[in-house]
């Protein structure tokens, strides 16, 4: 949580407008005034736990951060604040995930574990974070949901590969309908695609109406980057709008530098196109 000087005022304004708010915080320096502000049914506090013990400290590069974070998580949960754990699975912490599962179950809070992708800091430290076999990471990803949340993965359930996770976990209409806004005001398709080429608005000098206007050429350009027509192996597939070239388009860009190929982590296509009466495949 980067603390804006008017953080609590902004939060109170949003809550008074009946908006659901998710707050991201590393759980390190929570003041009493913030904790009080979090005690609201429309507030969800997301805290990353990037390993167990030393591996969390290695990931955060802050000695003692694991203990402080877990202490604050326990404190917030004891006060009835809605807390959700997140983790990014890497070579450093992949053997810790059972401990995170156990903590989530003990506190009865959800946990979401995602794979590391070659973006930003991770790209610069790829050799330290990326294991020889990427499947070692994928196998440890997934969700722990608390309570009865139909349709979501439970502990022990098979975890789909990353390309499919995006579809299962709700990244729908990316690049066309769903967008993210960075702290500097730049509007992008999602948090995995932050580079200049994906920016199509700037809320520091434009209104939302302007950014989403149909004549915003940058928005149209970004929409075209997500076009299925460019996916050579998929552009005639009748399942492309559901499968989206094997799932998350950001994975293609991050691993291969282009959106024009299908998800490289989804090497096998199980789609069987129907055969035409004349014996030719329809795609």
Can residue 239 be called a binding residue for ligand SF4 (CB under 6 A)? Answer: yes
Among 85, 142, 240, 252, binds ligand SF4 (CB under 6 A): 240
Q: Are strands 201-202 and 180-181 parallel, antiparallel or unpaired?
A: unpaired
- Which C-beta is closer to ligand SF4: that of 129 or that of 174? 174
Please name which of 40, 46, 5, 47 lies closest in space to residue 19, comparing C-alpha atoms: 40
Can residue 122 be called a binding residue for ligand SF4 (CB under 6 A)? Answer: no
Q: CB 11 → ligand SF4: shortest distance, Å?
A: 25
What are the beta bridge partners of residue 143? 112
Query: What's the 3-state SS for 222-269?
Result: HHHHCCHHHCCCCCCCCCHHHHCCCCCHHHHHHHHCCCCCCCCCCCCC
- Which C-beta is closer to ligand SF4: that of 73 or that of 250? 250
- Which C-beta is closer to ligand SF4: that of 77 or that of 167? 167
Subset of 154-173 contacting ligand SF4 (CB under 6 A): 166, 171
Q: Is the dihedral of CA 166, 170, 173, 174 positive or negative?
A: negative
Rounded distance between C-alpha atoms, residue 34 and residue 173, angstroms = 34
Subset of 183-212 contacting ligand SF4 (CB under 6 A): 190, 192
Rounded distance between C-alpha atoms, residue 136 and residue 138, angstroms = 6
Q: CB 250 → ligand SF4: shortest distance, Å?
A: 4
Please name which of 51, 53, 47, 13 lies closest in space to residue 27, comparing C-alpha atoms: 47
- Which C-beta is closer to ligand SF4: that of 129 or that of 192? 192
Can residue 250 be called a binding residue for ligand SF4 (CB under 6 A)? Answer: yes
Q: What residues line the site for ligand SF4 (CB under 6 A)?
A: 166, 171, 174, 190, 192, 233-234, 237, 239-240, 243, 245-246, 248-250, 262, 269, 271
């Amino acid at each position: 949580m980067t603390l804006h000087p008017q953080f609590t005022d902004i939060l109170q304004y949003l809550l008074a407008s009946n908006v659901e708010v998710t707050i991201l915080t590393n759980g390190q320096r929570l003041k009493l005034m913030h904790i009080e502000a979090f005690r609201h049914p429309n507030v969800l506090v997301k805290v990353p736990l990037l390993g167990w013990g030393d591996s969390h400290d290695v990931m955060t590069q802050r000695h003692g951060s694991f203990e402080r974070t877990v202490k604050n998580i326990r404190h917030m949960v004891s006060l009835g604040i809605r807390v959700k754990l997140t983790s990014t699975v890497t070579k450093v912490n992949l053997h810790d995930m059972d401990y995170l599962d156990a903590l989530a179950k003990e506190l009865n809070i959800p946990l979401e574990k995602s794979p590391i992708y070659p973006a930003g800091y991770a790209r610069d430290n790829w050799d330290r974070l990326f294991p020889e076999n990427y499947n070692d990471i994928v196998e440890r990803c997934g969700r722990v949901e608390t309570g009865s949340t139909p349709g979501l993965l439970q502990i022990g359930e098979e975890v789909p590969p990353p390309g499919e996770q995006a579809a299962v976990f709700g990244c729908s209409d990316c690049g066309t309908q769903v967008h993210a806004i960075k702290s500097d005001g730049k509007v992008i398709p999602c948090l995995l695609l932050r580079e200049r080429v994906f920016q199509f608005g700037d809320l520091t000098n434009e209104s939302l109406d302007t950014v989403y206007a149909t004549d915003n050429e940058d928005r149209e350009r970004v929409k075209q980057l997500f076009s299925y027509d460019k996916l050579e192996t998929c552009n005639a597939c009748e399942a492309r709008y559901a499968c989206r070239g094997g799932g998350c388009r950001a994975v293609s860009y991050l691993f291969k530098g282009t959106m024009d190929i299908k998800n490289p982590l989804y090497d096998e296509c199980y789609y069987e196109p129907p055969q035409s009466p004349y014996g030719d495949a329809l795609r």
